[in-house]
Structure 1
Amino acid sequence: MPGSDRSTGDGTAARLVALSVDAQDPLRLARVWAAALRWEVGAATDDEVGLVPTDGTRFGIVFRRVAEPKVGKSRIHLDLTTSSLDDQRDSVAQLVALGARPIDIGQRPDEEHVVLADPEGNELCLIEPGNSFLAGCDRLGALSCDGTRAVGLFWSAALGWPLVWDQDEETAIRDPDGTGPLITWGGLPLPPKVGRNRLRLDIAPTDGTDQRAEVDRLVALGATPADIGHRPAGGVGLTDPDGNELCLLPAPAARRGQEAAAS
């Protein structure tokens, strides 16, 4: 894959903790996504269910209960790799049996990936085997995002993940050690945003970085403080330059202190 080893400045970076997903039925959705990703269902309460990676991914997925149904197309969806045409067909059949359905989001007849919606309408793609762009990725090939080049550059600097693709307004970043999925942005035109995103990125300062200082750094990069609705205790709501919600969790040391105080 064409790429670059450009750094993101002074080395300061946040850590990607989780992809947060709003869900009317968190446990059901977690079970469907666990089957799709071949991950494991982890800690669960009535209102929150986590998925634990079984591959090289270094962040989890958390489903959080909300009352509202999904409206409009998501700005983030999963691209899942497959090892063969049989694997692609079997994956589609398995997910349809669990409540997913094929959908048309404007894909061309000559495109070989299969687009599904999960039981609450969240889009995901089963990518054809041998896709060169996702070569070297595990089952979770990419978090595929609607977004401008500016937002790709923002997230590259925010996470300290270098650009591995930057062409024709499309961008992609990946963890510097080459593990886990890509995060990609498709460039313009940017579809309209309908309400709050149901999928967002939860990040946290690295050890030794104060949360307030990290808020200031993200704002300097182009983020905006915002009310993002439900968020974990101590989280600070922001939006990225394209208006997508994100949550900055407390610094790891502060989180450990809060957990110790609650125990």
Structure 2
Amino acid sequence: MALRLVQVNLKARDDAALGRFWAAALGWVARGGHGATSAAPEGFDWTDPDAPVCVDAIAVPDPSTVHYRAHLELATTSGAHYLQLVARLQEIGATLADVGQGDGRRTVLADPEGNEFCVLEPRELYRGTGPIGAVAVDCADPQIMARFWGEAMGWTVHEATGDRALLRSANGTGPFLEFARTPHLPGARHRAHLDVVPYCGDTQQAEVARLLGLGASPADVGQGDVSWVVLTDPEGNEFCVLAPA
């Protein structure tokens, strides 16, 4: 039993505009609208177990009232690609952001809705991930998070220290999931969260029960009667378990 990471869900005032931005940023196409717009490769089928992780923009009344704890990190393949991508992202609506990064190995930007993300200088670790190199999550204890998410999704832990934990799918494809120890974490809802789905043959009900046994908790974010189940991980990060198709 395991779960598949389907998408990173971003809050937005205008989901269609944000979906178009991320489609252009990643070289993908935007689909949907009227409250939910996804950015995904041409021909994307979310029920395909080998489908890449995509981005889903969801309209909410006031995304500025929630905080940043998770963000996307975009991979580059060369120094020239890194410079070109940063420039192109600013041309289509991204703005430079200063979050005290200071290491000079990345450029921090904000998308048109203010969601912060990073463009990474080329690194061997992220070669072959696709345009999204990692989904990075601030946390208090990376090892606890690595243990929970590794068991939840059946992902391989590549690194787990007191400061950082790094996971990737067992078949070695797609982006990494990175947990970085961060002091003074915001306690409110977050602008980005993960959506996961059971693999074929597993049920949503069974997977939710398994996640609760691993340390997840039920969450009420005003979702009402919907087909997905909202949970929080051991550090309070919300995520959704979708119903398999």
Verify same fold: TM over 0.5.
yes
- C-alpha distance in 2, partners of 1:29/1:159? 28
Q: Partner residue of 1:20?
A: 9
Q: In the alignment, which of 79, 88, 96 is matched to residue 94 of structure 1? A: 88
Number of the residue aligned with 1:128: 121
Are 1:35 and 2:29 counterparts?
Answer: no
CA deviation string 1:154-211 (max 9, x = no partner): 1111011110121334111111111100010012435223x21121111122222232
SS in 2 for 1:88: helix
The alpha-carbon deviation at position 232 of structure 1 amounts to: 8.6
Match of 2:39 in 1: 51
1:122 Cα deviation from its structure 2 partner: 0.6
> 1:73, 1:113 → 2: CA distance?
21
- Write the letter of the residue equivalent to 1:101: T
Which residue number corresponds to residue 116 of structure 1?
109
* 1:62 alignment partner, one of 49, 52, 56: 56
The structure that is strand-richer by fraction is 2
How big is the shift at 1:136? 3.5
2:6 and 2:81 mapped to 1: Cα distance? 29
Contact residue 198 and residue 207 of structure 2 kept, 8 A: yes
Identity %: 38
The residue type equivalent to 2:196 in the other structure is: I
Per the alignment, do residues 20 and 134 of structure 1 end up closer, same or farther by CA in structure 2, a change over 3 Å counting?
Answer: same
Verify: 1:143 aligned to 2:135, yes or no. Answer: yes
**CA–CA distance in structure 2, aligned partners of residues 134 and 166 of structure 1:** 17
CA distance in structure 1 between the partners assigned to 2:207 and 2:236 by the alignment:
18
User: What is the count of residue pairs matched by the alignment?
Assistant: 237
The 3-state SS of whatever aligns with 2:64 is coil
For the residue of structure 2 that corresponds to 1:137, the secondary structure is coil
1:247 correspondence with 2:235: no
User: How many angstroms apart in 2 are the aligned matches of 1:243 and 1:105?
Assistant: 22
In 2, distance between residues paired with 1:72 and 1:116?
Answer: 18
What is the rounded CA distance, in whole Å, between the counterparts of 1:231 and 1:248 in structure 2? 15
- CA RMSD in angstroms comes to 2.1
Q: Normalising by structure 2, what TM-score?
A: 0.88
Q: Deviations over 1:14-73 (max 9, x none)?
A: 12222111111111111211122222213x131111111369862322111111032465
Change (3 A) 1:190 1:136: farther
Q: Which runs of 5+ in 1 are unaligned?
A: 1-11, 256-263
**Contact 2:70–2:135 (8 Å) recurs in 1:** yes
- In structure 2, the residue matched to 1:79 is 73
Structure with higher Rg: it is: 1
Query: Over residues 131-169 of structure 1, what are the superposed CA-to-partner deviations in whole Å (9 max), with x where a residue is unaligned?
Result: 233233222100111122212211111011110121334
Mapped partners of 1:188, 1:73: distance in 2: 14
Q: Contact between 2:75 and 2:130, CA under 8 Å: does it hold in 1?
A: yes
Q: Which runs of 5+ in 2 are unaligned?
A: 45-49
Instruction: Give the Cα–Cα distance (whole angstroms) in 1 for the partners of residues 130 and 100 of structure 2.
Output: 26
